[in-house]
Amino acid sequence: MIELDPIASGAAIDCGRLVKIYRVGSTDVTALSGLDFEVAPGERVGVIGPSGCGKSTLLNMIGGLVAPTSGSLVVDGVSLVGATAGFLNSYRSATVGFVWQDTARNLIPYLTAFENVRLPVELAGGDRSRLRALELLELVGLADRAGHKPHQLSGGQQQRVAIAIALANSPSLLLADEPTGSLDGVTAAEIYGVLTTINEELGVTVVIVSHDVNMAFAVERVVEMRDGQAASEHRGDGGTVRSVLLVDKLGRVRLPDSFRESLQSGDRVEALVEEDGLKLRPPSDGQRRDR
């Protein structure tokens, strides 16, 4: 049995050289290939990238739903690598709240909004489940819809109920996988607003996976993934977005395709350290190789 002692870490989430390989028939498919990813306590972070880049695998791994193939994964000071099924069940119910794109996965259709939110509190043995459910529905702006069933609610309202459910057991971490994927732009902005309120008022760490680039203005930081690795980082600043490239723990940097095209240097670049920073340019000796 693996001992799961707390690990000293200032991060809410700390992934180091994380690898996930799925076996599909006779083929190995790499979803994460040495990912480094860190989130501070109480931070609101978005993860974007094309389909198949590994962002949902990362979220499921942080949520204790998928086991890493190799690497380190520490959440709230506790390692999830090699964790037992029993520990992960407790972890998911006490530490993590989930919000999925598919509302059928979030809500029980024959229960009212109030009953959907109250249920997980009751299952955990909460002695103030009724009051807790009403407080959470008020927090997400749906106190006046407590008696409505999912089919009587709009898509945005259903996602608000889903967020309330995710918070029912007071988790320290909220994970949202494409929470606005089936919503229009205005409603999506409202859902991001709810997540921001929760983050700021409750201090819950929030990680949102999405294809929506507009999410950059709703979070403190956006990490862009490519081919199973974190490639670049974007931060909102006064209505604009500032982007930086990420250096992993092996000192590797992934250049965006637009940068590589502008360099026109094949698979080699020349790096020069200058007073104002690092400069990359095509090799001056003409040693260019195209793959």
Distance separating alpha carbons of residues 97 and 218, to the nearest angstrom: 19
pLDDT band at 3; cut points 50, 70, 90: very low
Number of domains present in the structure of the chain: 2
Domain for residue 272, yes or no? yes
Q: Does the model's pTM come out above 0.85?
A: no
Q: Which amino acid is at 94?
A: A
Is the predicted pLDDT of residue 276 greater than 80, yes or no? no
Residues 169 and 186 in one domain: yes
Residues 189 and 278 in one domain: no
Residues 245 and 262 in one domain: no
Residues 55 and 193 in one domain: yes
Domain for residue 90, yes or no? yes
Tell me the Cα Rg of the chain. Answer: 21
Residues 280 and 209 in one domain: no
Question: What is the per-residue pLDDT for 189?
Answer: 93
Is the predicted pLDDT of residue 6 greater than 80, yes or no? no
Structure tokens at 130: 């009724």
Question: What is the per-residue pLDDT for 80?
Answer: 95
Distance separating alpha carbons of residues 151 and 116, to the nearest angstrom: 13
Higher pLDDT, 169 or 280: 169
Residues 144 and 269 in one domain: no
Is the predicted pLDDT of residue 239 greater than 60, yes or no? no
pLDDT tens readout for residues 242-265: 556 656 666 666 666 655 666 665
Pairing between β-strand 96-100 and β-strand 173-177 as defined by DSSP bridges: parallel
Chain mean pLDDT for the chain: 85
Residues 179 and 281 in one domain: no
Compute the average pLDDT of residues 36-43: 95
Compute the average pLDDT of residues 119-131: 81
Residues 196 and 238 in one domain: yes
Neighbouring residues of 170: CB distance < 8 A, sequence distance ≥ 6: none
The residue to which tokens 């931070």 are assigned: 43
Residues 129 and 56 in one domain: yes
Domain for residue 78, yes or no? no
Question: What is the per-residue pLDDT for 283?
Answer: 72
Instruction: Say which range, 39-48, 153-162, 235-244, has the weakest mean pLDDT.
Output: 235-244
Beta bridge partners of 25: none
The CATH code of the domain that includes 137 is 3.40.50.300
Question: What is the per-residue pLDDT for 2?
Answer: 34
Higher pLDDT, 79 or 257: 79
pLDDT band at 266; cut points 50, 70, 90: low
Is the predicted pLDDT of residue 1 greater than 80, yes or no? no
Domain for residue 127, yes or no? yes
Residues 93 and 144 in one domain: yes
Parent domain of 230: 41-60+83-255
Residues 102 and 217 in one domain: yes
Distance separating alpha carbons of residues 209 and 177, to the nearest angstrom: 5
Domain for residue 152, yes or no? yes
Distance separating alpha carbons of residues 69 and 72, to the nearest angstrom: 10
Is the predicted pLDDT of residue 4 greater than 90, yes or no? no
Domain for residue 13, yes or no? no
Residues 194 and 273 in one domain: no
CB-based burial, 44-64: b 16+ in 10 Å, e otherwise: bbbbbbeeebbbbbbbbbbbb
Domain for residue 29, yes or no? no
Domain for residue 110, yes or no? yes
